[in-house]
Amino acid sequence: MKDRLQAWFDHRTGLETAIRKFLYEEIPASSGWHQVFGSVAAFLFMVQAFTGALLAFNFAPTPGDAYNSLRYILTEVTGGRLIRGLHHWGASMIVVVVVLHMVQVFLYGSYKKPREATWMVGVVLLLLTMAYGLTGYLLPWDNRAYWGTVVATQIAASIPLVGPYLSRLLGSVGDIGVVTFARFYGLHVLLLPPATTFLIAMHIYLVRKHGVAPTVEDETLPKKKFYPEQVFKDTVAIFVAFAILFTLAVAVRVPLERLADPTDTAYIPRPEWYFLFLFQTLKLFGGSLEVVGTVLLPTLAILALMLVPFGDRGRVTRVTQRTFAFAVVLLVGTGWAALTLAAVRGTPQPSAAAQIDFSQPTDWMQLSPVELAGIGYFRRENCQSCHTIGESKPKVGPDLANVGNRRTGAWIIEHFKHPEVMVPGSSMPAIHLSTAQLNSLTALLLKVTAQNAEAMQVAPTFAVAGAMLYQEKFCGSCHQVNGVGTKVGPGLNGVGNRRTTTWLKQHFNDPRKMSPDTIMPPYAFSPTDMDNVIGYLLTLPE
């Protein structure tokens, strides 16, 4: 019965025969580990498609809503941070693997007759891979995505003759907005995936049609089957690649900057790492030569890749004898590395606002200055070495979450001063802080709950230091932040929408120059203190 069902299924679908033919195809004896990159690249594409679909289930494809929905995915959806991490780092890994695959093919001369079309399809797949990075860059709709896309669309608009048409096609005439987002989303989700799927299928078909490229040594050696030896190697390579990807997704947090702000003209855009070389190249050409960096060199590079099989018509030789091919790879790799390194070294220090990771809870922004300063004293006294805050693993001291439900502020302050008196047998040492600092630490503990504990722990160092400085200089005696303080001076919530970093620095140094009627004294802050307090002020919500 089993044989009859199997025969019926194979006769109606041909699937079993196709799989058997696929697995038991003959491949050259030289086939091995150096040919696993193609399988890894195909696997990573499937990971990208799968994780992209999972993200799309909770993603709102409109500006603003896209940002909020992504924050929802990262902070509320089960496994949302892992899914986004897999998708983000998978995009980088697939670029690396596709490039390595093409380098391997180039070094071995596997593009030679009759495999020219196979190579050319691979070049198009490389371009599509880069197109995914370009179109997906805008979708988070944070400041980094917005201004990076502004630069990309400006480059497209500068192309002679076709520039205006590209701008209209991308919906980037004027400002980057709803139309631009819709075009990029449509390209990223609706057009590129089916085009990639088709070209991958064509690429695999051409590889099977012409066979795996043999080496000179294969002429005297018997062929072997694709299964099981090469299948095992491909599987191991895929497992290693996924292990690396999963580790990156879990261990390396993908940041999310604040919501895109078209008025933030001081923001310095940076592309993904695999586009840094191109941005650095553009710096070498200015004025009338800009078209060389934006159009001429990229076009020549793509044409050179396409024409490689037609420029090298010689016989297949041993890979160890392909000196010129190795020299080309070494030269291109060195140039790419040098340009990328120069771009990294030339990257300016990000502003305080750009350092905030909005993929994490941001409840700390709603704290009063005295409470936020308390986080600084909590960290300075290393309280976390003995106490947990809403964590599952117990420590020497009690959990401090919801301590306000069990103790009063007066009790907590007295406990800081005389732990052994308030809790006989306690091993906690006395905390030697000023009265104001003890009040800040107490205010924090009265505020902490199991629900907001994570937000307290991830509050950025610069904001905490800025709040501590705000308290030390008694700024609350004139200003109000998050409803706490007096109204002698203007309220500071949303000051980042009204003032620039430069204005704030000048105001601290010479208040009457910037505001003639002010009674505020000048402050001679150190550069670090100035950056911290301004960074804190710029993070205050409206």
Which domains, and CATH codes, for the chain?
32-218+238-256+281-346 (1.20.810.10), 363-539 (1.10.760.10)
CA quadruple 242, 243, 246, 248: dihedral positive or negative? negative
The per-residue pLDDT for 6 is 86
The per-residue pLDDT for 417 is 92
CA atoms of 260 and 143, how far apart (whole Å): 4
Which amino acid is residue 527, in one-letter code? P
The per-residue pLDDT for 490 is 92
The per-residue pLDDT for 511 is 92
480-481 and 26-27 as β-strands: parallel, antiparallel, unpaired? unpaired
Q: What one-character DSSP code corresponds to residue 214?
A: P
3-class DSSP state for residue 218? helix
Task: Write down the number of H helices and E strands in the chain.
Answer: 25, 4
Q: What one-character DSSP code corresponds to residue 488?
A: S
The per-residue pLDDT for 414 is 93
Structure tokens at 508: 């601290």
The per-residue pLDDT for 392 is 65
CA atoms of 532 and 48, how far apart (whole Å): 39
Strand partners, 225: 26
Which of the residues in the chain have pLDDT under 50?
Answer: none
Tens of pLDDT, residue by residue over 462-475, are: 999 999 999 999 99
CA atoms of 539 and 22, how far apart (whole Å): 58
Q: What one-character DSSP code corresponds to residue 142?
A: B
Residue 234 CA from chain centroid, whole number: 28
Q: What one-character DSSP code corresponds to residue 396?
A: S
Tens of pLDDT, residue by residue over 406-458, are: 899 999 999 999 998 898 988 899 999 999 999 999 999 998 888 788 778 88
Structure tokens at 444: 């924090």
Q: What one-character DSSP code corresponds to residue 296?
A: I
Nearest to 207 by CA among 230, 233, 236: 230
The per-residue pLDDT for 140 is 95
Q: Is the distance from CB of 254 to CB of 82 less than 8 angstroms? A: no
CA atoms of 242 and 423, how far apart (whole Å): 51
Cα dihedral angle (149, 155, 156, 158), rounded to 10 degrees? 140
Nearest to 523 by CA among 497, 495, 504: 504
